[in-house]
């Protein structure tokens, strides 16, 4: 199903859904965001950069469904003097087609034997950000018809109208609006800046409409020229009356339209293409339109498809399930939109991996997120730490040249307190080369940090040789960019080991170098977690809670420096720093990691749990796996003397002095050590000490023992491993000053010291079992966990899929906003696809292979009924409504489109299924390549499966006997490598040294793997 696309008949009468065009415009293009709904003519909003750059007003999904048919794209067609509006809701014979690169709608006017098709795509590889709209009118009769058509946007916003301002004072803002009607386009702008400031600036940029066909259009920019005084924009009176071209158009003081009028005789087919976009200046637009014609746009449509095909060709699949093959491609594309698409750039200190096409997830249903697409060549966007990290964790199986880049970047972002900034803002470059003989304006530009795309645009503007682009980057240093954001989530660190293990799977021979020789800087946020005596408070209800946990500092340099030089420590020292901080705030019962940083873990909607002294058991599982990894590698690689912050060395010494005792005293002493360490770190002390391998081994072994006991205690709490624990203070005293007066904290409530807690586990969530299965479960206990989960309220028996939690009906609203959500909606008791897929990955990694393959039949969206799912089955949703929701019409329907962490889990499952856990091993100084796929026989077509390795190596599994490759009696009988010069046969299941390295370097074109059964040996 190489060219699969989703077709929806009578789309306006189906379940409503929202989605978007990818916003991918090529290396030398300006991205444009464009959202659509299956109502009206689809596009409900589009623009550049963010919501402040809207060309068509942004509405959240619930409003977009209403407004798209009125202020969006409209088409009025007059056929032999009879007027129709196309794509009205009540119209028949309407079809929606969704492709990875474009979207189109078709309506058949059966009575007239005429059809009209609209196709949308974004303009690729141009200095213009634009939405392209291709209109095709087809005559299915043999008669010539007289046609008039008015087509385009009923309302367009000029450049310079910000999102919040337009929502608040749209009537006033009309006073600045003006329209310039040029011969080849219409330009929409404001006459000046709208702020109430002393400095007023002119605006040269603008939005525009430009149209091409075999004949010239007439532009309609005044809505009254079409609708007269019908402010509802319902009836095109002037068009009906036949005097539309006689109307005098107004170009000021109103929200303009962006429409075109064509009149022609229709024999077989008539096409025109309109583009709606943004230009930096009128002069640049004048130059641009000189090269456009109808063929130009048709070629751009093909070019746009090629760009998307190139991205999705990263995964090539041929299994027995074509819909699954198409699904993986779509998952990869959507994974790129969150994590980015890697390209290599030669920089001064090292080759840099630069990620293009990414952005923070934000769309019609995620209206709470302020997304940002850099309006530049080589566009990169912002994203949340855990989102970007997760969506990049599989990149090495596609692009091995990335090597340790992501490990080093994300490890750099770990602070000395074990937390990390929320917002990852890509990378920039700072020029460190010779400025002699460079253009003066270029020198001004490169004196500050820059992105590659903006550099190339400056070179282009200055009409300099494009070779300067690579020359300057090769003499520039990489800068990682991030910002604190809004809090410290406890789960963010848990994804770092996945990245490291991904590196080890491809480069096991470089693990020692990565951990012990590679160095990383230390990020500093301008916020810190306060000690207990500043955040344990008594509420007005006399309950004891943890509020106001994070305090802000003045702005500071984001990297720890001494004498302006960034301090760096080995990767393993940074990971140890992380482990120490996390271990130290293990909760009062020594089971979960405390949510002491004002935010919870993975489930954002549990935002109240930190206030309840809550902790996460899932994070304990992840911390145990990380500390075990450090301990094993310290043991494996022998003696090292490693740099570490002196304060961290002192922290180790204090933790070593704490002996095991009752849980509360152990917790109190750990927290005392942690709070003393944090207090010291506020001085930004840059002193460095040495820590040797023996010391690291001792502290990690001690922590590992404590965490193993924590896991044992967690498992004893319930048949289903708990995810969240909360604590109620049972003994405390108020903090008083020297005058015996209550001390009021920064949160505005009296402060207390707590002397004892009572623990309670929240009802079962899916996350705890999912994380345990992925990290720690042995096959024999995995089956028991699976059975317990499936027999519980975590399983929706009606739809045969999983949900985030059992019923929370008896819980207090204090646990967070998920309690206020309706059951089966958002994070509350819904099938939150990211977590469901984490659970499926856990089944796979724990060795329950047959169970995994049975479960994906009802849990992968690609195998769901589109009529129930309510959208393309190859597009993920954030959540699917479960049968616990009171609205049965929504059961099984997916909401919040595509940009979900489920794509990362899907790619992890793909990698484990088709390659196995580790592609390479390093044994006795030898590199070994060994495939160990976990493929079910039902996935084979014509006794084989075709896929790719490292994007370009064709990998084929041959399975004449149709065995499950994970069966005990299945084995690899031979492997055949094909290079450009020779074919090499190996009668074994692995490949050693020279050829293993050639595979990793992609010097091999094809790998054929042949399976057999033990009985045939």
- What does the pLDDT look like over 349-392, one tens digit per residue? 778 999 999 988 778 998 887 888 889 999 998 899 999 999 99
Per-residue pLDDT of 396-442, as tens digits, reads 999 999 999 999 999 999 999 999 999 999 999 999 999 999 999 99
Position 607 in a domain? no
3-state secondary structure of 237: helix
DSSP 837: H
DSSP 832: E
Between strands 1006-1013 and 953-958, the pairing is parallel
Structure tokens of 860? 């992968």
DSSP 246: G
DSSP calls for 918-956: -SEEEETTEEEE-------GGG-BTTEEEEEETTTEEEE
Task: Quote the pLDDT of residue 895.
Answer: 97
Which of 118, 104, 15 has the alpha carbon at shortest distance from 74?
118
What CATH number is given to the structural domain containing 11? 2.70.98.40
Position 522 in a domain? no
Structure tokens of 687? 């002193």
The residue from 297, 312, 327 where one domain ends is: 312
Position 695 in a domain? no
Q: Give the other-Cβ count within 10 Å of 199's Cβ.
A: 6
Range of the domain at 838: 767-874+881-887
All residue ranges of the chain with pLDDT < 50 are 1
Task: Quote the pLDDT of residue 779.
Answer: 86
Position 368 in a domain? no
3-state secondary structure of 345: strand
Q: Alpha helices of 638-722 — where are they, by DSSP H? A: 646-657, 663-681, 693-715
The residue from 312, 332, 358 where one domain ends is: 312
Task: Quote the pLDDT of residue 659.
Answer: 86
DSSP calls for 370-409: ---B--STT--B-EEHHHHHHHTTTGGGT-GGGTTHHHHH
Rg (the chain; Cα; Å): 30
Alpha-carbon gap, residue 680 to 599, rounded angstroms: 24
Does residue 149 sit in the same domain as residue 298?
Answer: yes
Task: Quote the pLDDT of residue 367.
Answer: 84
Alpha-carbon gap, residue 203 to 101, rounded angstroms: 33
Cα dihedral sign, 165-167-168-169: positive
Position 661 in a domain? no
Does residue 814 sit in the same domain as residue 922?
Answer: no
Does residue 163 sit in the same domain as residue 272?
Answer: yes
Position 87 in a domain? yes
Per-residue pLDDT of 683-721, as tens digits, reads 989 999 999 999 999 999 999 999 999 999 999 999 999
Does residue 838 sit in the same domain as residue 969?
Answer: no
Query: In total, how many domains does the chain have?
Result: 3
Please report, for residues 471, 938, 1016, the alpha-carbon distance to residue 962 in angstroms, rounded to integers and kept in the order given. Answer: 54, 8, 13
The residue from 272, 290, 312 where one domain ends is: 312
Alpha-carbon gap, residue 708 to 692, rounded angstroms: 24
Does residue 826 sit in the same domain as residue 920?
Answer: no
Task: Quote the pLDDT of residue 946.
Answer: 98
Beta bridge partners of residue 796, listed in sequence order: 801
Please report, for residues 262, 715, 776, 912, the alpha-carbon distance to residue 780 in angstroms, rounded to integers and kept in the order given. Answer: 71, 15, 12, 20
Beta bridge partners of residue 105, listed in sequence order: 96, 118
Which of 497, 487, 781, 770 has the alpha carbon at shortest distance from 623?
497
Does residue 145 sit in the same domain as residue 21?
Answer: yes
Please report, rounded to a whole number, the percentage of residues in the chain having pLDDT higher than 90: 93
Would you call 740 exposed, middle or buried from its count of C-beta atoms within 10 A (0-12, 13-18, 19+)? exposed
Name the pTM for this structure: 0.96
Does residue 867 sit in the same domain as residue 1002?
Answer: no
Does residue 29 sit in the same domain as residue 94?
Answer: yes
Does residue 923 sit in the same domain as residue 847?
Answer: no
Does residue 77 sit in the same domain as residue 127?
Answer: yes
Q: Give the other-Cβ count within 10 Å of 892's Cβ.
A: 22
**Contact between 676 and 551 (Cβ < 8 Å):** no
Position 630 in a domain? no
Position 825 in a domain? yes
Does residue 154 sit in the same domain as residue 34?
Answer: yes
Does residue 183 sit in the same domain as residue 264?
Answer: yes
């Amino acid at each position: 199903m190489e060219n699969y696309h989703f077709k929806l008949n009578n789309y306006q009468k189906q379940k409503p859904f929202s989605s978007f065009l990818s916003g991918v415009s090529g290396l030398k293009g300006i991205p444009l965001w464009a959202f659509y709904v299956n109502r009206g003519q689809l596009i409900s909003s589009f623009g550049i950069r963010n919501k402040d750059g809207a060309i068509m007003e942004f509405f959240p999904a619930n409003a977009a469904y209403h407004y798209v048919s009125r202020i969006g794209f409209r088409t009025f067609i007059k056929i032999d003097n009879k007027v129709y509006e196309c794509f009205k809701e009540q119209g028949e014979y309407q079809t929606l087609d969704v492709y990875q690169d474009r979207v189109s709608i078709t309506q058949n006017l059966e009575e007239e034997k005429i059809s009209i098709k609209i196709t949308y795509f974004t303009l690729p590889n141009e200095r213009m950000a634009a939405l392209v709209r291709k209109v095709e009118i087809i005559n299915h009769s043999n008669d010539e018809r007289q046609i008039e058509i008015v087509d385009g946007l009923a309302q367009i916003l000029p450049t310079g109208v910000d999102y919040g301002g337009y929502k608040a004072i749209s009537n006033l803002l009309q006073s600045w609006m003006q329209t310039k009607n040029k011969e080849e386009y219409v330009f929409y702008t404001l006459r000046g800046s709208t702020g109430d400031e002393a400095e007023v600036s002119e605006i040269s940029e603008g939005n525009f409409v430009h149209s091409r066909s075999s004949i010239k259009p007439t532009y309609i920019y005044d809505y009254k020229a079409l609708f007269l005084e019908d402010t509802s924009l319902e009836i095109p009176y002037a068009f009906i009356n036949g005097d539309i071209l006689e109307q005098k158009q107004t170009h000021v003081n109103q929200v303009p339209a962006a429409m075109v009028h064509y009149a022609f005789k229709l024999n077989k087919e008539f096409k025109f293409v309109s583009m709606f976009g943004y230009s930096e200046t009128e002069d640049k637009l004048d130059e641009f339109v000189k090269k456009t014609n109808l063929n130009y746009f048709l070629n751009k449509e093909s070019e746009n498809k090629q760009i998307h095909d190139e991205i999705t060709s990263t995964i090539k699949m041929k299994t027995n399930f074509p819909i699954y093959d198409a699904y993986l491609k779509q998952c990869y594309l959507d994974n790129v939109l969150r994590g980015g698409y890697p390209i290599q750039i030669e920089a001064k200190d090292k080759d840099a991996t630069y990620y293009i096409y990414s952005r923070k997830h934000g769309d019609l249903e995620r209206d709470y997120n302020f997304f940002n697409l850099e309006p530049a060549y080589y566009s990169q966007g912002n994203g949340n730490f855990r989102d970007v990290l997760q969506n990049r964790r599989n990149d090495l199986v596609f692009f091995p040249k990335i090597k340790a880049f992501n490990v080093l970047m994300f490890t750099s972002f770990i602070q000395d307190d074990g937390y990390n900034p929320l917002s990852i803002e890509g990378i920039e470059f700072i020029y460190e080369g010779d400025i002699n003989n460079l253009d003066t304006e270029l020198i001004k530009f490169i004196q500050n940090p820059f992105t590659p795309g903006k550099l190339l645009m400056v070179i282009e503007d200055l009409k300099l040789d494009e070779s300067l682009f690579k020359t300057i980057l090769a003499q520039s240093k990489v800068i990682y960019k991030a910002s604190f954001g809004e809090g410290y989530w406890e789960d963010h660190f848990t994804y770092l080991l996945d990245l490291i293990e991904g590196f080890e799977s491809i480069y096991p021979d470089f693990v020692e170098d990565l951990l012990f020789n590679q160095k990383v800087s230390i990020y500093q946020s301008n916020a810190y977690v306060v000690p207990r005596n500043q955040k344990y408070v008594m509420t007005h209800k006399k309950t004891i809670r943890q509020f106001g946990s994070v305090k802000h500092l003045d702005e500071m340099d984001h990297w720890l420096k001494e004498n302006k030089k960034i301090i760096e420590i080995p990767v393993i020292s940074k990971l140890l720093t992380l482990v120490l901080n996390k271990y130290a705030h293990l909760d009062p019962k020594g089971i979960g990691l405390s949510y002491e940083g004002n935010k919870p873990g993975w489930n954002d909607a549990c935002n109240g749990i930190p206030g309840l002294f809550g902790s996460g058991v899932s994070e304990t599982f992840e911390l145990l796996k990380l500390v075990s990894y450090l301990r094993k590698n310290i043991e494996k690689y022998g003696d090292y003397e490693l740099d570490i912050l002196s304060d961290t060395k002192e922290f180790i010494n204090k933790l070593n002095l704490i002996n095991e005792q009752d849980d509360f005293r152990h917790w109190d002493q750990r927290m005392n050590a942690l709070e003393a360490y944090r207090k010291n770190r506020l001085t930004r002390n840059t002193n460095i000490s040495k820590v040797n391998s023996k010391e690291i081994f001792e502290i990690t072994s001690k922590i590992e023992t404590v965490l193993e006991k924590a896991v044992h205690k967690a498992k004893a709490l319930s048949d289903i491993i708990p995810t969240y624990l909360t604590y109620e203070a049972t003994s405390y005293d108020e903090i008083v000053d020297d005058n015996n007066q209550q001390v009021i904290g920064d949160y505005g409530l009296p402060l207390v010291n707590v002397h004892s807690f009572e623990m309670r586990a929240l009802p079962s969530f899916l996350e705890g079992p999912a994380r345990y299965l992925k990290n720690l479960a042995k096959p024999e206990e995995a089956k028991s966990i699976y059975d317990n989960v499936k027999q519980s309220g975590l399983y929706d028996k009606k739809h045969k899929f999983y949900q985030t939690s059992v019923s929370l009906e008896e819980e207090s609203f204090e646990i967070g906003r998920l309690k206020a959500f309706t059951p089966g909606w958002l994070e509350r008791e819904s099938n939150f696809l990211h977590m469901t897929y984490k659970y499926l990955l856990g089944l796979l990694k724990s060795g329950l292979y047959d169970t995994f393959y049975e479960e994906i039949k009802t849990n992968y969206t690609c195998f769901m009924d589109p009529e129930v799912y309510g959208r393309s089955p190859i597009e993920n949703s954030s959540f699917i409504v479960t049968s616990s929701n009171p609205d049965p019409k929504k059961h099984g329907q997916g909401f919040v489109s595509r940009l979900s962490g489920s794509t990362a889990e899907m790619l992890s499952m793909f990698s484990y299924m088709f390659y196995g856990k580790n592609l390479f091993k390093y044994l006795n100084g030898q590199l070994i390549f060994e495939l160990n796929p976990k493929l079910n026989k039902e996935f084979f077509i014509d006794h084989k499966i075709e896929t790719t390795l490292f994007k370009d190596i064709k990998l084929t599994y041959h399975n004449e006997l149709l065995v499950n490759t994970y069966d005990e009696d299945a084995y690899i009988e031979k492997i055949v490598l094909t290079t450009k010069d020779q074919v090499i046969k190996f009668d074994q299941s692995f490949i050693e040294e020279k050829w293993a390295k050639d595979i990793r370097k992609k010097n091999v074109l094809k790998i054929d793997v042949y399976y057999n059964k033990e009985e045939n040996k």
